[in-house]
Chain A
Amino acid sequence: MSRLPIRVRLTLAFALALVVVLASACAFVFVQMRSDMNDSIDGALQTRMTAALSLLDSGTALGFVDAGLLGERDESLAQLLRPDGRMVFALGAVHVPAVSGPDLRRATRGRIVVERRLPGFDDTARIFAQPAPGREGRLVVAVAESLTDRNEALSAMVRAFVVAGSIAVVLASLVGYALASVGLRPVETMRRRAAAISLTGEPERLPLGPAHDEIRRLGETLNEMLDRLRRSFERERRFVADASHELRSPIAVIKTELEGALRAGGFAAEQRAALAAAVEECDRLAALAEDLLVLARSADGRLPMRPEPLPVGELLEGARHRFVDRAAERGRAIRVEAPADLVVLADELRVRQALANLVDNAIRHGGGDVDLRARAVPDGVEIDVSDHGAGFGADLAARAFERFTRASESRSGEGAGLGLAIVQAIAIGHGGSATILEGADGTTVRLVLPAGPPDEPDALDRAASGAAASAPSQAPLI
């Protein structure tokens, strides 16, 4: 039940309530009507009994005949019975005693009213039986009337109720369903918008229905919640951005001071080593602050971008050149494969950083040679950075793009685990994407970036050389 949509549940509950109400109304009318009809039948029987008794009193028992003792219908009777069940006299279509057994014995003592089936009657009969006055214990007078009319009227009424009631229930349910659907439609609209809403970028809100109802209030409350969430996200991002921004200056000062001290000299070898290590840590700290700033700004969509057409081949060669020595130290090679005329529209600094992070990762965590391949695809340029190591493993691949994700939980390795998060931020910042492809023989990180404009030679220049070629006889001006 609880799995059904609310509007169906509402409609079912509504229909059920309607059935209960209609059934109760029907039962009430039924009881009331039957009691009214019984009263009128009883009146007729009483009249007949009175007439029978008065005839009996006046000794004209045998003159029962015709004395209006029978009703207008065939199915009525008047009988004079002995306590042993023998009929002294009977009028009407029935030739068995109207009462017998215990009923008859009770009737010898006083008036009884029973309803029972009698042979010759289509339906049950209502029977009055009482001792004949002055002959108590010896004679019982019984009059009866068929209940066919009453029962037919009652069942007709029940049928009418069932038919009309069903139609009413169905119609009312349809209307109820429609109303519930209309009433709940804003909820569905809100749900759809909420599914698509993003907490970054332009502040979006849930659509509110025109009616000032509970659903609108829910929507308003949810919108307020969205605003609060957005503000707290915003605060977090601003905090990271501000913090990393503010860290830059002191880091730069520390580095300058340390280097100044180192250059001034006068230290023992151990102190020099300590200062040199501190300078290196300063560089790492500075790089970390820069990375955090990039991430915080990209989450805000405020990553400064200067896209320009860049030849992919040169970018890949640049990345190879930067890491080729480090790779060679480990006996590994870096290969580049890129069509000569492939151009991306990208921010050079960012793309170089993304490629550097990927190659660095491949050398540090991957195995075998590193391949940098680029090719044109319909939605831009695909750059694959592949290695032939053990790969991420499904668990790590799933969260590789999250911040501070490291291959192992130990902090012994270098790097803060921001590398791939930055790659993704940069790709998305360019309107592209970054994905991890796990193959049988290693791992590929695929970067998709927008393609640059085709490298067109100066149009005017072509026209000019055309003019030069077509006018060889022109007199030289020199």
Chain B
Amino acid sequence: MRVLLVEDELRMAAAISRALRAEGIVADVANTGTRGVAMAHGEQYDVLILDVMLPDLDGVEVCRRLRRDNVWVPIIMLTARDAIEDRVRGLDHGADDYVTKPFSLAELLARLRALARRGPVARPTVLEVGSLRLDPATRQVWRGDVEVVLSAREFSLLETFMRRPGQVLSHLQLLDAAWDLGYEQRSNVVEVYIRYLREKIDRPFGVKSIETVRGFGYRLRRDGGA
């Protein structure tokens, strides 16, 4: 396994890389965020260990830049115990996991292995289907450059579609994805919400992105309708 450690504190970096090498893991160290971004671009790493408190770019910004540039190396953040804000922002901007300092080495190693197993698959933080964009972290939706305001239920329905573009989703699948268990399966609540959604993301833009597949369910067109 090959790991990039982005950590500005030299003693901490030395301690972690020594421990990693003892486990037979190759560890490169970057002491600044900028250097970390550059190294992650240049080399193929299995996992990136990222300290959130960095002197130049903070860890969240490092995540954001790498994901923007389609670098999908799994990222694990090192954060202070009470820095919940950092963790939330980091995860929303493309980090995959975190451990809090001081961490247990055994736990860090286990998480490293788990992340390495996933590999560098694309895990975009903002979903895009054609001209539709949806940011699950900020709960915003755009059609082209126009922001569309959706209710909570409409949002989770659209998110379900956008995570499976082109797939036909049954009435039951949609109910499972966007409603909790209390809902009667026979109620037509899904149809009602599909109609709301079309009113908001299709009709005003003169497109048709959510198609009805008669007798089975609905589908979001891969081109997003336009």
**A-to-B contact residues, CB < 8 Å:** 248-253, 255-257, 259-260, 263-264, 282-283, 286, 290, 293-294, 304, 306, 349, 458, 460-461, 464-465, 467-469, 471, 474, 476-478
- CB contact list, B103-123 vs A, under 8 A: 103-106
- Measured as residues with beta carbon below 8 angstroms from the partner, the interface class of chain B is 35 or more
User: What are 30 A-B interface contacts by the 8 Å CB criterion?
Assistant: A249-B101, A252-B101, A252-B103, A253-B12, A253-B15, A255-B102, A255-B103, A256-B12, A256-B16, A257-B18, A259-B104, A260-B15, A263-B22, A263-B105, A282-B102, A290-B81, A293-B82, A349-B82, A458-B152, A458-B153, A461-B153, A464-B153, A464-B189, A465-B183, A467-B192, A468-B189, A477-B212, A478-B171, A478-B191, A478-B212
B85 interfacial by beta-carbon distance below 8 Å: yes
From residue B45, how far is it (CB to closest CB) to chain A in Å? 20
Closest chain B residue to A264, Cβ basis: B22
Question: Roughly how many angstroms separate A336 CA and B76 CA in the complex, as a whole number?
Answer: 36
From residue B148, how far is it (CB to closest CB) to chain A in Å? 15
* Pairwise interchain contact B153-A248, C-beta atoms closer than 8 A: no
* Pairwise interchain contact A283-B82, C-beta atoms closer than 8 A: no
Closest chain A residue to B23, Cβ basis: A263
B138 interfacial by beta-carbon distance below 8 Å: no
Closest chain B residue to A460, Cβ basis: B151
A263: B residues at CB distance < 8 A: 19, 22-23, 105-106
B85: A residues at CB distance < 8 A: 304, 306
Q: Given B19, B195, B214, which contacts A260 in the complex, CB threshold below 8 Å? A: B19
* Pairwise interchain contact A252-B217, C-beta atoms closer than 8 A: no
A306: B residues at CB distance < 8 A: 84-85
From residue B86, how far is it (CB to closest CB) to chain A in Å? 10
* Pairwise interchain contact A256-B15, C-beta atoms closer than 8 A: yes
From residue A371, how far is it (CB to closest CB) to chain B in Å? 29
A468: B residues at CB distance < 8 A: 187-189, 192
Candidate in A294, A306, A464 with the most chain B CB atoms within 10 angstroms = A464
Question: Roughly how many angstroms separate A1 CA and B63 CA in the complex, as a whole number?
Answer: 76
* Pairwise interchain contact B12-A476, C-beta atoms closer than 8 A: no
* Pairwise interchain contact B82-A257, C-beta atoms closer than 8 A: no
From residue A75, how far is it (CB to closest CB) to chain B in Å? 108
Known: A257-B15, A465-B187, A465-B189. A304 touches B82 (CB 8 A): yes
Interface string of B131-158 (1 = CB under 8 A from A): 0000000000000000000011100000
Question: Roughly how many angstroms separate A293 CA and B9 CA in the complex, as a whole number?
Answer: 21
Question: Roughly how many angstroms separate A477 CA and B215 CA in the complex, as a whole number?
Answer: 9
B39 interfacial by beta-carbon distance below 8 Å: no
Question: Roughly how many angstroms separate A463 CA and B81 CA in the complex, as a whole number?
Answer: 42
Closest chain B residue to A463, Cβ basis: B192
Q: Given B19, B80, B81, B191, which contacts A477 in the complex, CB threshold below 8 Å? A: B191
From residue B154, how far is it (CB to closest CB) to chain A in Å? 8
A304: B residues at CB distance < 8 A: 82, 84-85
Question: Roughly how many angstroms separate A263 CA and B22 CA in the complex, as a whole number?
Answer: 8
Question: Roughly how many angstroms separate A260 CA and B19 CA in the complex, as a whole number?
Answer: 5
Question: Roughly how many angstroms separate A349 CA and B80 CA in the complex, as a whole number?
Answer: 13
Question: Roughly how many angstroms separate A286 CA and B214 CA in the complex, as a whole number?
Answer: 61
Q: Given B9, B84, B187, B212, which contacts A249 in the complex, CB threshold below 8 Å? A: B9
Known: A460-B151, A464-B192. A252 touches B23 (CB 8 A): no
Q: Given A248, A251, A260, A458, which contacts B22 in the complex, CB threshold below 8 Å? A: A260
From residue A218, how far is it (CB to closest CB) to chain B in Å? 44
A349: B residues at CB distance < 8 A: 82, 84
B194 interfacial by beta-carbon distance below 8 Å: yes
Q: Given B80, B102, B214, which contacts A256 in the complex, CB threshold below 8 Å? A: B102
